[in-house]
Structure 1
């Protein structure tokens, strides 16, 4: 074993960063044996240096992250501060000064992944980011390496634990959205401002990363269609159960049927109870991958939290350090296909539409005519009068697969009918 240690700079020492430092210390001998050289925590950049950080030598703590990554003797920079800046500048500076980078920064990678990969390649450095998607679940490396000889056609996943916890509680207890969110917040699953999670921004960043790796093409955050889940109601879950489904917030990345383009999207969807993702409970994540040769694969586990995310970071750290010792680099960006990213309108999917309509003869015929005029075939229809009377009825229509643009056009036309008092709910149906 080489006696000179590999020096690691840690940017950020919050929930994840402190766990990375702790594991580096408590598992030091094992990590050294696996890498072939010991690791040395050479510096920790933080915003609040006065805070007591158990197990970390205060002499290592600095507020000058730029000076830390410019030192020149740092072998690997671990970036767990998040956000776009200063993370982007710090990472590129680290490359310029000879360090490889391990990052958990999904937002930055989804926005500027191509530029960061180019900078790493220019300076002969590694950029690893297993922890950016689905926490402890090994997903990036299997897609990038284990399935490198296969053709991935679809990636369908639950990639946000907060939203899955909320939807699971709504499903299992009958709670409303706000009640389930309050419980998630009390348990620490949801942030004080849960917007990034419940509006799908977090999942959209992960979808961009997954699509780019799976399809060997560049997919940016702006390419990902996104819908949040704040409008889901107990009535939606009742409708889902009537169909033998549940509701999940899904990240879906797929090739077009002819292989000439790709799509990436995040939105709530009804999912048959028979689908493996339907049974994913609480704050767990799971990703379902479909490929030509391997067939169907599912990756499951905790998708967030200090220890799970630190596990993914340390896995990358071991790999990058091994590369350092062998004077090599691992896989970089693979974007050789250059496939265009289609908008949501090109996606072929199914709709579950709940309408409030006038309870009188001829309404169903009018509604069916609108679907026909837009080239959308109806699978099932369920109509029942309202218990409160008032001359209204509830009409639930489930369609066959059709382009999303045609389905959206159908809904807009339905809104213009005098006999349609309101569109109570619209939800896509996936997994069939």
Structure 2
């Protein structure tokens, strides 16, 4: 029988993901030792409450409330507590003690990533976080390593399973946002307070992480433009279906040329958008996630799978752990973050996109001319226009698709339309993404 050296693993947090990580480490200890060339010995699990109910039975002797002592006795620390504090302090303590760190904490990385990366680089420690974005889907390592020699131009991501479930149900059944959210809550996809999901906060944190990796630039979460799905209506989703689109909440990270300065910059944003049904992202159903990457040499790449779930996310955590353990066996410092390009972060007004605008207007001569004049005054070109007039009505519905224009010009156009005497209301405004 082969005798393996031991790598001591300390786990912070035993929630839905942490408990599954612990279970898999204990159940597959022999197999993991063969893969790594060392035993991954789970030496303790730090929890807030020793008596709390957990998703799986864990050995009582492993549970502790003394996280700091556990860190000092570990070679690798896995942080799955969530939130900013005490997670930030404990991760920094782990790095300072000489331990490598695996985390799935998107909020922590989005808010304090540069601080943590710098601390790890200073001591040659490894900080890995595959589980922080898109659950089980391997996207961090491809961006961090596989595509490090390429030039990523754009990322379109469905990175929040709750909102994708809601929008997909609205598309498939015609349900309202409220009814679809209620179903998501019943099935366990949505939290009792769904604000982080439907408000776009969760997706914005993930967009900050993806943009930082893809463009080798520090992108704080505060620089990510964020809009949630709270204003999406069943009528918008049905109108999109008739026009050959589906509504998705997208995290978009893009390398752009600033039209004002001519310099290259980075945009990171989250909002609901119309996606053509021919695009691969349109086929992402239920609570699944997908990330569509466009790279100069590699071309378009699609990463798809479960974006959440305890055991699924645990798979990503263990992938990081095995990679770190192998490095410890072979020797050498951890992989440092490549965030030295420091491209400028462009505000939302500088991006170029398309709009689909639905107007309620009076049905009388000259209305179309006035609407067209408003677009022309702001330098926005109309690509297509559909008009419908209900029988016996004195109002008409205009659905207008624009050519690409700057966000600021399109926003000014919508504001002028809303103030126009011939426009009764601006019923809907959605951006169009992924169109060829």
Residues of 2 paired with 1:259 and 1:33: CA distance? 51
Matching residue of 1:104:
104
Question: How much is the aligned-residue C-alpha RMSD, in angstroms?
Answer: 1.4
Q: Which moved more, 1:355-364 or 1:26-35?
A: 355-364
Residues of 1 paired with 2:51 and 2:391: CA distance? 63
Matching residue of 1:21:
22
Q: How many residues are matched?
A: 429
In 2 relative to 1, CA 396–40 (structure 1 residues): closer, same or farther, beyond 3 Å?
Answer: same
Mapping 1:345-424, distance limit 5 Å: 345-386=349-390, 389=393, 391-424=394-427
2:11 equivalent to 1:10: yes
Match for 2:430 among 424, 427, 431? 427
Deviation at 1:241, TM superposition (A): 1.8
Residues of 2 paired with 1:282 and 1:255: CA distance? 29
Residues of 1 paired with 2:207 and 2:3: CA distance? 40
Mapping 1:248-287, distance limit 5 Å: 248-257=248-257, 260-287=264-291
In 2 relative to 1, CA 16–86 (structure 1 residues): closer, same or farther, beyond 3 Å?
Answer: same
Deviation at 1:396, TM superposition (A): 1.2
Does the residue aligned with 1:179 lie in a helix, a strand or coil? helix
Residues of 2 paired with 1:283 and 1:312: CA distance? 18
Matching residue of 1:47:
48
Does the residue aligned with 1:171 lie in a helix, a strand or coil? helix
Residues of 2 paired with 1:110 and 1:52: CA distance? 30
Residues of 1 paired with 2:137 and 2:334: CA distance? 20
TM-score by length of 2: 0.96
Deviation at 1:68, TM superposition (A): 2.2
> 1:48-106 CA distances to partner (integer Å, 9 max, x unpaired)?
1113554422122112223322x2x3101101111111110010011111111100000
Contact 1:320 1:329 in 2 (8 A): no
Matching residue of 1:218:
218
Q: Which moved more, 1:298-307 or 1:42-51?
A: 42-51
Matching residue of 1:128:
128
Residues of 2 paired with 1:235 and 1:387: CA distance? 19
Deviation at 1:187, TM superposition (A): 0.5
Does the residue aligned with 2:429 lie in a helix, a strand or coil? strand
Contact 2:363 2:396 in 1 (8 A): yes
Does the residue aligned with 1:332 lie in a helix, a strand or coil? coil
Matching residue of 2:77:
77
> 1:370-404 CA distances to partner (integer Å, 9 max, x unpaired)?
11010000011112224573x32211111000000
Match for 1:325 among 326, 329, 348? 329
Contact 1:218 1:338 in 2 (8 A): yes
Matching residue of 2:90:
90
Matching residue of 1:194:
194
Does the residue aligned with 2:81 lie in a helix, a strand or coil? coil
Does the residue aligned with 1:41 lie in a helix, a strand or coil? strand
In 2 relative to 1, CA 201–388 (structure 1 residues): closer, same or farther, beyond 3 Å?
Answer: farther
In 2 relative to 1, CA 430–315 (structure 1 residues): closer, same or farther, beyond 3 Å?
Answer: same
Residues of 2 paired with 1:300 and 1:197: CA distance? 19
Deviation at 1:238, TM superposition (A): 2.1
Residues of 1 paired with 2:97 and 2:291: CA distance? 36
Contact 2:4 2:33 in 1 (8 A): no
In 2 relative to 1, CA 2–342 (structure 1 residues): closer, same or farther, beyond 3 Å?
Answer: farther
Matching residue of 2:63:
61
Residues of 2 paired with 1:187 and 1:55: CA distance? 23
Matching residue of 2:142:
142
> 1:258-308 CA distances to partner (integer Å, 9 max, x unpaired)?
771110111001011110110111111111111111111100000000011
> 1:353-373 CA distances to partner (integer Å, 9 max, x unpaired)?
111212222111111111101
Does the residue aligned with 1:336 lie in a helix, a strand or coil? coil
Deviation at 1:4, TM superposition (A): 3.3
Does the residue aligned with 2:399 lie in a helix, a strand or coil? strand
